[in-house]
Amino acid sequence: EGVGPQEYTLIKMEAIVLKGKLSELEGHGKVFLMAATLRPETMYGQTNCWVLPEGKYGAYKGLNDEIYVLTERAALNLSFQEKTPVRAQPECLLELTGQDLIGVPVRSPNSIHERVYVLPLLTILTNKGTGVVTSVPSDSPDDYIALQDLKKKPKLREKFNVLDEWVMPFEVIPIIDIPEYGSMAAAKACEDLKIQSQNDTTKLAEAKAAVYLKGFNDGVIIVGPHAGRKVSEVKPIIKGELVAAGQAIIYSE
Ligand code: A2H
């Protein structure tokens, strides 16, 4: 961990259907799962959203009558950053577990899919970010391996009540070209290191470091309005566009 505060972009993924326990929020405002990312320029490649099944989350009052779903810890931090109606007092409208969120269809900025689904990721830390993570399997080894795990293991899907249709139709989307890695860098890094599952944490950390550095320094974005430009150049631009459009907020911890 670094010394200074870490800044994340929180991507607002709107719940399209308030299923199960979330239905208690019906009529209270738009509900957004707030995914913390360091890579806002990769949102073109989203295939799903991740939560920790046994993690504790809440639906909190946000700005403009919106509702934000994240951990209590993140809601408190946000409230000190003037991103909730009352400073230092996040208002929880509904307590949730990750399992309550699994299977919720969400609409997310810059996604090529009209809807993607909330799926379980077992390596999410609840003391980092918001506990909600957006999944970009082309460029994140964690996301790639976890999605393959769910695709390959019917028992894993069953355990968390995941329907095939939330997982199977979603393929890796090439969005960034990296010299020596190609346009599905995370998949290549995982294959090179022979990573078998999301529990291979040591090798995953290695894959992540390699792809992250290469992608930022040498990657070229190949989709969207900024296609052809370097990742290092477009990252702040895309982040600014998302924030200006009200589709993301900046968060530090
Ligand atoms: B990144 P750092 Cl394409 N637990 O977003 C586990 N992982 C979390 C998390 C949590 N509570 N909160 C955020 N993250 C993930 C995109 C991405 C990310 C890509 C490539 C690399 C990458 C899409 N997933 O991260 O520990 C989020 O995944 C590689 C570092 O603060 C977030 O950015 O350094 C990143 O980890 C934050 O990790």
CATH of the domain at 243: 3.90.740.10
Kindly state whether residue 86 falls inside one of the protein's structural domains.
yes
Kindly state whether residue 185 falls inside one of the protein's structural domains.
yes
Q: How many domains does the chain have?
A: 1
d(CA 135, CA 142): 9
Kindly state whether residue 128 falls inside one of the protein's structural domains.
yes
Q: What residue's CA is closest to ligand 1, atom 2?
A: 38
Angle between helices 141-152 and 201-218 (to 10 degrees): 130
Kindly state whether residue 1 falls inside one of the protein's structural domains.
no
* Ligand 1 center from residue 7 Cα (angstroms): 12
d(CA 21, CA 38): 30
Instruction: Record the tokens describing residue 156, joined without a space.
Output: 């894993």
- 120 near 87, Cβ under 8 Å? no
Specify the residue for token string 């769910």. 150
pTM: 0.97
Q: Among the atoms of ligand 1, which is closest to the Cα of residue 140?
A: 20
Interval 44-61: pLDDT, tens: 999 999 999 999 999 999
Q: What residue's CA is closest to ligand 1, atom 1?
A: 37
* Ligand 1 center from residue 27 Cα (angstroms): 32
Beta-carbon contacts of 20 under 8 Å, excluding residues fewer than 6 positions away, are 100, 103
Kindly state whether residue 140 falls inside one of the protein's structural domains.
yes
Q: How far is CA 234 from CA 152, 222, 230, 253, in A?
A: 35, 11, 6, 24
Task: Please work out whether the CB of residue 143 comes within 6 Å of at least one atom of ligand 1.
Answer: yes
| Domain housing 230 | 7-252
Task: Please work out whether the CB of residue 214 comes within 6 Å of at least one atom of ligand 1.
Answer: no
d(CA 220, CA 200): 29
Residues β-bridged to residue 50: 119, 133
The torsion defined by the Cα of 53, 57, 59 and 61, in degrees rounded to 10, comes to -150
* Ligand 1 center from residue 212 Cα (angstroms): 10
Give 152's DSSP letter.
H
Task: Please work out whether the CB of residue 84 comes within 6 Å of at least one atom of ligand 1.
Answer: no
Interval 92-123: pLDDT, tens: 999 999 999 999 999 999 999 999 999 999 99
- 48 near 20, Cβ under 8 Å? no
Task: Please work out whether the CB of residue 212 comes within 6 Å of at least one atom of ligand 1.
Answer: yes
- 132 near 51, Cβ under 8 Å? yes
Give 230's DSSP letter.
B
* Ligand 1 center from residue 28 Cα (angstroms): 30
Each of the 253 residues of the chain gets a pLDDT tens digit; together they read 567 899 999 999 999 999 999 999 999 999 999 999 999 999 999 999 999 999 999 999 999 999 999 999 999 999 999 999 999 999 999 999 999 999 999 999 999 999 999 999 999 999 999 999 999 999 999 999 999 999 999 999 999 999 999 999 999 999 999 998 999 999 999 999 999 998 899 999 999 998 988 998 999 999 999 999 999 999 999 999 999 999 999 999 9
Kindly state whether residue 2 falls inside one of the protein's structural domains.
no
**pLDDT, position 73:** 98
Query: Terminus-to-terminus CA distance in the chain, angstroms?
Result: 12
Kindly state whether residue 229 falls inside one of the protein's structural domains.
yes
d(CA 190, CA 197): 10
Kindly state whether residue 35 falls inside one of the protein's structural domains.
yes
